[in-house]
A and B are shown apart, each in its own frame.
Chain A
């Protein structure tokens, strides 16, 4: 079932329920009220009848009668019964004479008054004492109001409910259809967007409702997709360039050598240069392979429990071998006292690779100025901060630092391929960590890595 139909049916059902409840309760309460009211009217009449029959002298009785005639409406089939009661046996005779049920009469005597309904005739009787004598006065009439007015009202309520149900049905369908119009528009528009025309966007409205939020979310998603596509394209051109340069130089070198005969020294020199270029190619392919391997997050790597501070020390030793002139300072002033708070779950080789990359870069781009490494840990993660005083990264180029083969514009004097940082990010991702790079040109770069603490039982 479509949501549209669901909403319409729900609206109709609740509306009908409310209407029925409303109409039904009006009818029910009015019905009850009309009965009690009618009995009360009969009682008044009985009291008046008793008054002018037994209580008043002759002159007053006449005026009572005329007042009653002139001012009280005559009810349909109104009848009066007046009896004098002297003992209980009289009741039976009265019952015989008046055809009223004996129980009813007994009730009147016992409770001073009583009501009764036989078919559509209503009876109200009262016990009336006057001049030391006891009387029973019963007035009966048909309830015209109940039989006619109530019927009329029931019919009109039925018609009204039916009419309103028709209207609400129409409105529910109308609204449920049009409420989904904007969503349908979005669906249609998104369907049009494919890889060929990913620059297309959904038209944004300026109001701040849910639909506009949905649209802007979609557009943001498309923006990110578009950049991802572009990165992919850039990657291919950058990669072919990186591979092309050493290949061209190998080919050029070989061609020049083959032009004429050369001395063995020249051959040796040229072969050495070719070897150097081939090694460079090999290195690029290897790091690329690493990048590709770490890119699959679903591939399970062997994890073990490691101590973050040990890792940093070992990485420093490694960097010391590669670059003996480095100036790495490890700062322990925030190191937690409890070694448990330094244990992380990770793959040793991969984390070495990531940290070596960061530290080697920090030393390289700062010309061996001091590099500060801080270790701290909160209750659920380890913070590693690498701070250098190097050339920095221009702010405009920050969004691209994780693109493979991207190199910042101020790095021309330094050797490198631009694979290190993407590789480091992939590795932190595998470890469920976060990496953040902030930088100021010519002041330095700060790389912050957060890794979740291992849960040790």
Chain B
């Protein structure tokens, strides 16, 4: 069976832990992963003229983040069919529902006690997800414990 999962991210490595734990719960299935970054679209016409989601994503992605994605890809090689990063520009619940429908998302995973640290134009999509009444699963890990197993991903890049 194959399903598409959606995970909100902030282009920080820690936010990928949600993905890691979500993948842990998927067994004998294939997953297409959509990593969603929510950002307000600019109001300036001149900026919109040169708007390119590819470039925006490229400027937000750090080399460490890409490396972390490739680590997860290698770890769950048989589960993951594809990983793509998408920008979400909507403001309201309907826009988010449209997004979910367009991407054919089956399950939404959101971090339980990790709050996304967003850059300049970004906004936190989690309240929107909760308000949308679409089914979602919360995944939690302890953010501060030093030896916590879930934090290894950060440990790989903790400089």
Contacts and interface: CB of A to CB of B under 8 A. Distances in A.
Interface string A133-146: 00000000000000
Given A334-B152, A334-B153, A379-B70, A436 B159 contact: yes
A443 B152 contact: no
B74 A377 contact: yes
A337 B149 contact: no
Nearest to A376: B71
B71 to A, nearest CB: 5
Contacts of B141: none
Nearest to A332: B75
Contacts of A336: 71, 74-75, 77
A338 B74 contact: yes
A337 B156 contact: no
Given A372-B147, A379-B70, A444-B146, A385 B156 contact: yes
Interface residues of A, number: 26
Interface string B124-159: 000000000000000000000011010011011011
A370 B146 CA distance: 12
Contacts of A331: 149, 152
A172 interface: no
A336 B78 CA distance: 10
Interface string A71-107: 0000000000000000000000000000000000000
Interface string A326-368: 0000010111111001000000000000000000000000000
Nearest to A380: B70
B77 A338 contact: yes
Nearest to A381: B67
A350 to B, nearest CB: 23
Contacts of B77: 336-338
A127 interface: no
Given A376-B71, A376-B75, A333 B152 contact: yes
Contacts of B159: 436, 438, 448
B52 to A, nearest CB: 25
B155 A387 contact: yes
A385 B71 contact: no
Interface string A411-425: 000000000000000
A339 B126 CA distance: 37
Interface string B105-121: 00000000000000000
B76 interface: yes
Nearest to B64: A378
A376 B156 contact: yes
B148 to A, nearest CB: 11
A389 B147 CA distance: 9
A171 B131 CA distance: 72
25 contacts: A333-B149, A334-B71, A334-B75, A334-B152, A336-B75, A336-B77, A337-B75, A337-B77, A338-B77, A341-B74, A374-B152, A374-B156, A376-B153, A378-B67, A378-B71, A379-B70, A379-B74, A385-B152, A385-B155, A387-B155, A438-B159, A446-B155, A446-B158, A448-B155, A448-B156
The 7 closest A-B pairs by CB, nearest first: A336-B74, A378-B70, A337-B77, A379-B70, A378-B67, A376-B71, A374-B152
